[in-house]
Structures are given as C-alpha cells and as structure tokens.
Amino acid sequence: MDLGLARDIGTKLLLVGAGGLLLYWTISAVRLVLSARGINPLIKQFFTQVASGQVDGAYLLTTRNYRSHVNRQQFIRFLAGLQLNKYRNLKSGRPRLQEGQVILTVKLKTDAKEELPLDFTFVKVEEAWRVDRITRLAAA
C-alpha cells in the first residue's frame, strides 16, 4: 500500500472520529440542558422561601425520600447551621447527570468573597423537579 494513501485514510478516519465525538458531546449537552429545565426556578423558589421565613414551604420542595430521612426539625437545624443570612449572591454551576438525577453545585457568596458551596441533587417527581439531597461541600 502506498504511504500517501495510508496517510489519507488515517487523516479521514481521524476526522470522522473527531466529528463523531463532537456530535456525541453536542447531543449530550443538549440533552442535559433540556432535562435540567425548571431547576433554576426551583432553586430560586427554595432560597426565596427560606429567606422570607417560609421554611415549611422550602421543606415541601424536597422529595418524600428526603423528608423520610430528614425531619422538619433537622432541616431547620441544617439551615440554621448554614448561616444563610450572611450570603447575598448565588451562583449555580453546570448541572451533572447521574443515574437519572441532576446534581447542581450552588455557591452562595458574601460581599467579603466568602463562599458556601452546596450540592443539590434533584429528581423528577410527577413531571416537577424536587430536591432529593442537599450536601454542604468543603469551601474551596
């Protein structure tokens, strides 16, 4: 086989492979974005209710599974331990899909540049997103 022909075939195979990988990545990204619709309004609603003192409303945004493991008093103690009143800004990261759940890292920030990273795990319950887990992460 001619060396030039082998090089041409190799280049074409490399381009096809790169194109396939790009197509796969694009489809995965679009699927993730479409499946995560509705999560940002839920996060906003959650923190708005907590900030306005409607802790029961925020607690009801969680799944039945979450409420079976974390009772109302534990939820209130968890929120109190976070000292949410000192944070002013909220920045959400890129959602991650894992076993039918969407995990989103949310960073709460103070004016003094302190950060509180929280991982929220969401699951769909009857076509609506609900919080299934909240985990406090170590500050970066």
132/63 same-domain check: yes
Domain range spanning residue 15? 1-35
80/101 same-domain check: yes
**Cα angle: 74, vertex 82, 128; to 5 degrees:** 65
Could you give the CA distance from residue 44 to residue 33 in angstroms, rounded to a whole number?
Answer: 18
Identity of the amino acid at 138 = A
27/89 same-domain check: no
List, in order, residues 6 or more apart from 47 with CB less than 8 Å away: 84, 90
Q: Rounded to two decimals, what is the model's pTM?
A: 0.72
pLDDT digits (tens, 9 = 90+) for 58-112: 999 999 999 999 999 999 999 999 988 888 888 888 888 888 788 999 999 988 8
Q: What would the two tokens of residue 13 be?
A: 């195979």
The overall longest dimension of the chain from CA atoms, in Å, is 76
